[in-house]
């Protein structure tokens, strides 16, 4: 018998939909039962997982209610034109909110609670089709991560004579964009020998994601018509984990080097 977990069930549902784009819940369950040799409908736990995965596909516009032959109600389901494109290209954005958060916390157990709170809201909003809310809350999570990184660098900078005034500059500036500019310029002045343990290409990765998320949030927060591109938001959510990892790794480098080299 195959190992049954959520990812395995999700993959088999997608395989079923590729061959049966006009289907119903009974057919989907039948595909799973034939594949795994079990009675899905006799297991409350497995039935719930199947229903949740179908629900996510509906929320993500992969499925719609009804059939193309004219039956407009449940239990019939039909793959949308957008869904067919996603299935064929293998680009389904199926961010499981609970699974995503578990993965983040497992990889980064000491992550700031405020970041987690806004990130969770962002993913949940994304799954409910609320792209604007998702973009704004992800922006808050990103800014909190950046503020913590800048605070860590401010303490770290006091061990280098050429950076001794940076902490005061950062503390006297209220705009996060201006704080980030000061931080970025100061970090570039750091001697190369103190950057050897920094994450690879950290500057490009962090700068790209920070500015992308910030600009999307700013457009969304003002009535300019921006921030409605679901694909951009999906990509931002997918990349956010590696963005957090780079920030946490960089903060750890600042922490480890404090006091080791003395004043530069």
Q: State the number of CA atoms in the 13 A half-sphere of 208 facing the CB.
A: 12
262 domain-assigned: no
The total number of structural domains in the chain stands at 2
- Distance between CA atoms of 247 and 61, rounded to whole angstroms? 33
227 domain-assigned: yes
Q: What is the pLDDT of residue 71?
A: 61
Q: Cα–Cα distances in Å, from 3 out to 6, 38, 46, 189?
A: 10, 11, 12, 53
User: Do residues 22 and 67 touch, judged by C-beta distance below 8 A?
Assistant: yes
User: Do residues 97 and 124 touch, judged by C-beta distance below 8 A?
Assistant: yes
Tens-binned pLDDT, residue by residue, of the chain (264 aa): 445 788 788 888 988 998 888 888 888 999 999 988 888 888 888 888 888 888 888 877 788 877 666 665 566 777 777 677 767 765 444 456 666 788 888 889 999 999 999 999 998 888 777 888 999 999 999 999 999 999 998 888 887 777 778 888 888 888 998 999 999 888 888 878 777 788 788 888 899 999 999 988 888 876 665 556 777 888 888 889 889 999 999 999 888 765 454 444
Q: Cα–Cα distances in Å, from 60 out to 71, 89, 141, 148, 210?
A: 21, 15, 23, 33, 26
Q: What is the pLDDT of residue 240?
A: 92
Partnered with residue 78 across adjacent β-strands are 22, 64
1 domain-assigned: no
Q: Do 81 and 160 share a domain, yes or no?
A: no
Final residue belonging to a domain, choices 46, 69, 89: 89
Final residue belonging to a domain, choices 54, 89, 124: 89
Q: Is 221 left (phi over 0), alpha (psi -120 to 50) or beta?
A: alpha
Q: Mind listing the pLDDT tens digit for each residue in 75-91?
A: 677 777 767 776 776 54
Q: Where do runs of H (alpha helix) occur along the chain?
A: 6-19, 25-36, 44-59, 81-89, 97-107, 113-127, 131-157, 166-171, 176-189, 202-221, 230-257
Domain that holds residue 84: 6-89
Q: Do 210 and 237 share a domain, yes or no?
A: yes
Q: Order the strands of the 22-24 sheet from edge to edge.
A: 22-24, 76-79, 63-65
Q: Do 149 and 220 share a domain, yes or no?
A: yes
Q: Do 110 and 20 share a domain, yes or no?
A: no
Q: Say which residues have a Cβ less than 8 Å from residue 144's Cβ, sequence separation at least 6.
A: 112, 114, 115, 118
User: Do residues 216 and 233 touch, judged by C-beta distance below 8 A?
Assistant: yes
- Give the CATH number, domain containing residue 240: 1.20.120
Q: Do 154 and 49 share a domain, yes or no?
A: no
| Omega of the bond leading into 75 within 30 degrees of 0 (cis) | yes
- Distance between CA atoms of 1 and 39, rounded to whole angstroms? 12
Q: Mind listing the pLDDT tens digit for each residue in 221-245?
A: 766 655 567 778 888 888 898 899 9
Q: Say which residues have a Cβ less than 8 Å from residue 263's Cβ, sequence separation at least 6.
A: 159, 160, 161
Report field, pTM of the whole predicted structure over 0.95? no
Q: What is the pLDDT of residue 246?
A: 92
Q: Say which residues have a Cβ less than 8 Å from residue 259's Cβ, sequence separation at least 6.
A: 159
User: Do residues 125 and 133 touch, judged by C-beta distance below 8 A?
Assistant: yes
| Pairing between β-strand 22-24 and β-strand 63-65 as defined by DSSP bridges | unpaired
């Amino acid at each position: 018998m195959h190992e049954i977990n959520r990812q395995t069930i999700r993959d088999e549902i997608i395989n079923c939909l590729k061959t049966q784009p006009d289907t119903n819940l009974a057919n989907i369950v039948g595909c799973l039962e034939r594949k795994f040799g079990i009675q899905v409908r006799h297991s409350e736990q497995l039935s719930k997982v199947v229903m949740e995965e179908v629900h996510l596909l509906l929320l993500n516009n992969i499925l719609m209610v009804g059939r193309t032959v004219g039956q407009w109600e449940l239990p019939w389901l039909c793959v949308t034109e957008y869904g067919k494109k996603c299935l064929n290209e293998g680009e389904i954005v199926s961010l499981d909110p609970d699974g995503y958060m578990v993965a983040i916390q497992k990889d980064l157990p000491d992550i700031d609670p405020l970041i987690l709170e806004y990130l969770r809201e962002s993913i949940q909003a994304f799954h409910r089709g609320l792209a604007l809310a998702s973009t704004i809350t992800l922006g808050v999570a990103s800014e909190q991560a950046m503020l913590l990184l800048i605070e860590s660098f401010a303490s770290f900078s006091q061990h280098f004579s050429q950076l001794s005034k940076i902490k005061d500059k950062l503390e006297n500036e209220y705009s996060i964009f201006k704080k980030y500019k000061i931080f970025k310029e100061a970090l570039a002045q750091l001697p190369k020998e103190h950057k050897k343990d920094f994450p690879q290409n950290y500057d490009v990765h962090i700068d790209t994601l920070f500015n992308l998320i910030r600009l999307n949030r700013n457009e969304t927060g003002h009535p300019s018509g921006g921030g409605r591109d679901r694909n951009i938001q999906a990509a931002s959510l997918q990349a956010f984990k590696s963005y957090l990892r780079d920030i946490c790794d960089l903060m750890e480098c600042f922490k480890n080097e404090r006091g080791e080299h003395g004043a530069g």
